[in-house]
A and B are shown apart, each in its own frame.
Chain A
Amino acid sequence: MSWKKALIPLASVPLIILLAYGFRTDPKAIPSPLVRQPAPGFRMAVYDAGELSLETLKGKPVVLNFWASWCYPACYEEAPLLESTWRKYEAQGLMVVGVDIQDKEANAREFMRRFDFTFPNGPDPGSKISIDYGVYGVPETFFIDRQGRITHKHVGALTPALMEAQVQAILKGN
C-alpha cells in the first residue's frame, strides 16, 4: 500500500476520535464554572418560616437543592433522600435548603407535605437564585462547604451513595 493510499484511513482517525468523544459526552450537561468558587449569596422567603439567607448559614455545610413539584420523576425520587439526610446530619450542623423554582405555591406545598419536608424550602420568584447558580433544569444540587465554597454540583436525581460521599466531604471541610 502506497503512502497516498494510507492517507485515507489515516485521515479518518481524528474524525473517529472526535466522534468517540462526542458520543461519550452528554451534550445537555453544562459544566458549572461555580464549582470550587464561593457560593453566590441569596436571600429567600421560606414557606411558613420567615426568611433565610446564605450569609446566616456561614460556617455550616449546606446542601442546596433546586426542585419543583412538576419535576417528575427525578425530584420525586430524590425527595425522601433529602429529608432523611437532613434528619440524619442536622445535629452535626448540616443544613439542607430547598429552592422551589417556577412552581405554583399550592403544588409546592402539596409536594412538601407528601414527602414530609422539615428542612427550609422557599420559592424563587423571577428565578433570580436559580440563574445566579447557573441552574438549567431540575433537580440540581450544590454542596457547599463550611468556607462557603461550592465543592460539587450534581444534575439529576441524587443517589444515596453520592449524597453520602458529598455530605461527608463537606462535613469534614474537605
Chain B
Amino acid sequence: MRSQQAAWAGSPTGASGYRGGRRAILALAWALVWIGLVIPGVAPAASGSAKADAGPWNPELEEHVREIASGLRCVVCQNLSVADSPSDLAKEMRNLVRELVQQGKSREEIQAYFVSRYGEFVLLSPPKRGFNLLVWGLPFVAILAGAWGVYLVARRWTLRREEAEPAVDPVYAERVRRDLQEREGPVGS
C-alpha cells in the first residue's frame, strides 16, 4: 500500500524526474562519445602497457608475485630464483605467476603447476618428504658427526700429553741429580 502511494504520489514529479533522467542519459551519452573520441589515443597505449605489465602497478600483487617467484628456480640459471633472474625465461615465468595470481590461484596451486611441468627441480627448497628428507637431515647429521669427531681427537691429544708428562727416563733423572750434586757439593756441606 505504501509503495503504491509512493508510486502514485510520485507520478506528477515523475514527469519532471523523467525529463531529468533524459538529460542525465544525454549527458552520459555525450560523456561516452567524448571518451570514445578523445581517449582512444590514450586507451590503446594504456591497454597495451596494461597487457605488457599485466595491469596497473599493484604493490601488493607484485609483492605476492615476488614471494611466489622467489621460491621457484630459474631453470636456465645457476642457483637463482625466478624473482631474481634477469633471463628472458624467468621474466616470462614471473609474468605467468602474475597471471595465475590474478586468476585467483593460490601459492600451492602455482607451485604445483610449475612442478607438474619442470618437476621438483623447479622448487628452490625441496619439499620435506621422502628422499628429500636426507637433504634436510644430512647437514645436521654431518655437524653432529663432525663435533663428535673433534671431541674424540681432542680427548686423544689430551690423554697423550698426560701420559707423556710423567714419562721421564729414570737413568736421565739420576744423572741430572748426580751432576747437580757434584757441582754444588754434598747437600748440607
By beta carbon, the residue of chain A nearest B114 is A131
Among the stretches A27-35, A47-55, A79-87, A108-116, the one at the interface with B is A27-35
Q: B95 to A136, Cβ gap below 8 A? A: no
Contacts of B89 on A, CB cut-off 8 Å? 102, 127, 130-131, 136
Known: A136-B75, A137-B76. A33 touches B116 (CB 8 A): yes
Give the distance to chain B from A31, nearest Cβ to Cβ, in Å. Answer: 6
Give the distance to chain A from B47, nearest Cβ to Cβ, in Å. Answer: 16
Within 8 A of B (CB), among A124-167: 126-128, 130-134, 136-137
Q: A33 to B119, Cβ gap below 8 A? A: yes
Contacts of B115 on A, CB cut-off 8 Å? 33
Known: A30-B119, A31-B119, A32-B119. A131 touches B96 (CB 8 A): yes
Within 8 A of B (CB), among A22-67: 30-34
Q: A30 to B96, Cβ gap below 8 A? A: no
Within 8 A of A (CB), among B55-98: 75-76, 88-89, 92-93, 95-96
Q: B119 to A136, Cβ gap below 8 A? A: no
Total interface residues in chain A, CB < 8 Å: 16
Give the distance to chain B from A156, nearest Cβ to Cβ, in Å. Answer: 14
Among B76, B88, B95, B117, contact of A132 (Cβ-Cβ < 8 Å): B117
Tell me the complex Cα distance, A137–B89, Å: 9
Contacts of A137 on B, CB cut-off 8 Å? 76
User: Chain B: residues with CB nearer than 8 A to chain A?
Assistant: 75-76, 88-89, 92-93, 95-96, 115-119, 121
Jot down 29 A-B pairs with beta carbons below 8 A, ordered by A.
Answer: A30-B119, A31-B119, A31-B121, A32-B118, A33-B116, A33-B117, A34-B116, A34-B117, A102-B89, A126-B95, A126-B96, A127-B88, A127-B92, A127-B93, A128-B92, A130-B89, A131-B92, A131-B96, A131-B117, A132-B117, A133-B117, A134-B117, A134-B118, A134-B119, A136-B75, A136-B76, A136-B89, A136-B118, A137-B76
